[in-house]
Structure 1
C-alpha cells in the first residue's frame, strides 16, 4: 500500500510539474480526510444452503470510520480526475432469522475508485459533481463466530466492479492552496459471500453493499 501510494504521488507530481507554473490554482490537489463508510450488506439471493438457515435470515454490514487520502488532477479549470486510498473493515451480522449472529468477521476492503468530476466556481465555495468506476478488493475475510460451530472453516467475499456517484464542495482558505473539503459518494456494487466447511460449499449468498461514503477534511492544491 505504501509503495502504491508513493507511486501515485510521484506520477501525479510529474504530470503537474510543467503546468503548475502556468496555472495559479495548480493542477494537483491532495486531500486528507476523515471518512464514514456506511454499507448496506443485506442478502438479495440465497444460492446454496446445506446447513438450514432460518427462514427470513437477513444481514447488515457494520459502519466504519477511517482516514482517507484523495489525489486529484485538474485536466482543465473545471474538470478533474480523482482517486482515493483507504482500507476499511467490516463485520456482517444477522439482523433477522439469527439476530445478532456474526457471520463474517474482520473483512478488510480496498475500494479502488477513480471518478471524473465537474467543478462549479461560486467564488468562496466550489461545488462539484462526479461519477466513475470502482473495484471492491477484499484482502481479508474470516468466518464469523456464529458460523464456526456449524463447521465453517473458511469465508470468501468476491471482488467486484461497480459504479460510484459523487458530490461535494471545496472551500479555499487562502491563496496558498490550502482549503477545506466535504465529499459524499454513493457506491453501487454487490458481492457474493461463500462459507466453506472444508472443501464443501455450505452457504452462498448474494449481498447488496451500496455504501454511502461521507468525508470531510483539509486540502492542498499546487
Structure 2
C-alpha cells in the first residue's frame, strides 16, 4: 500500500510545487506601459528682476488637459513623460512707469520624471523627480511693447501622486508637480519707452492634476 501511495504523494508534491512557481512568476509580471489623461491647474509662483524700470511680474493661472505616458522598468521603478501646453497672460507690475500689460505667451513644457511606485492592492502612491524643457511660443506683445521674447529654458521637476485602482486596467490618478523654471525675457518697448528692457523671470509653477489612467500592456 505504501509503495502505491508514495508515487502518488510525490506526484502531488511536484504538481503543487509547479503551481506555486507558476503563481510566483505571475506575481512577478506587471504592466510595462500605462497612459493617463489628466485635467491640470498650472499655478505660477512668479517673481522677476526687471532692469531699468524695476518692478515685478505677474503671470496668470491656466487650466488645460494633459497627456502622459509611463514606462515601468520594474514593478517599482518607472519613467513618465508628460505633454501639454498652456497659455498665460503676463504683466510687469509696480515699475517706475506703472503696470505694463505684456500680452500673453504659450508654453510647451515636456517633462520627464523618474518615479518610485509603492506597491499596494488598491492605492499605489509614487514620488518622482526629473527634468523639464520649456518652449515659449506664439508670443503676443500686448498694447504697449513692440515685441516680447522669452528664452527657452531647462529646469527641474519634483512630483508626488497616487493611482487608485478601479479595475485591472483602469485607475484614477491624483498628481502634483513643482517645476523650477526660469527664463530671460526681452521687452522691446522702443515706441512707448524708448528702450529695450531685460528681465530675469522665475515662473516656478505648481501643477495639480486629476485624471483617469489605463494600463496598456
TM-score bracket, shorter-length normalisation: 0.7 to 0.9
Task: Specify which of 189, 194, 200 is matched with residue 186 of structure 2.
Answer: 194
- Distance in 2 separating the partners of 1:156 and 1:38: 21
Report deviation, 1:100: 5.5
Q: Which residue number corresponds to residue 135 of structure 1?
A: 133
Q: Which residue number corresponds to residue 165 of structure 1?
A: 158
Report deviation, 1:144: 2.5
Q: Which residue number corresponds to residue 215 of structure 1?
A: 209
Q: Which runs of 5+ in 1 are unaligned?
A: 1-20
Does the 8 Å CA contact 2:46/2:201 hold for their aligned counterparts? yes
Tell me the secondary structure at the aligned position of residue 92 of structure 1.
strand
Relative to structure 1, the CA distance from residue 127 to residue 26 in structure 2 (aligned partners, 3 Å threshold; closer, same or farther) is same
Report deviation, 1:198: 6.4
Tell me the secondary structure at the aligned position of residue 109 of structure 2.
strand
- Distance in 1 separating the partners of 2:28 and 2:67: 23
- Distance in 2 separating the partners of 1:28 and 1:22: 17
1:26 pairs with 2:18: no
Q: Give the structure with the higher percent helix.
A: 2
- Distance in 1 separating the partners of 2:88 and 2:158: 22
**C-alpha root-mean-square deviation of aligned residues, in Å?**
2.3
1:204 pairs with 2:198: yes
Residue deviations 1:75-107 (CA, integer Å, cap 9, x gap): 10001011011010011123434665412x220
- Distance in 1 separating the partners of 2:99 and 2:164: 42
Does the 8 Å CA contact 1:29/1:73 hold for their aligned counterparts? yes
Tell me the secondary structure at the aligned position of residue 76 of structure 1.
coil
Return the TM-score normalized by structure 1. Answer: 0.78
- Distance in 2 separating the partners of 1:196 and 1:79: 47
Residue deviations 1:39-88 (CA, integer Å, cap 9, x gap): 12321x234x3xxx3x5x22111000000001001110001011011010
Return the TM-score normalized by structure 2. Answer: 0.80
Q: Which residue number corresponds to residue 66 of structure 1?
A: 64
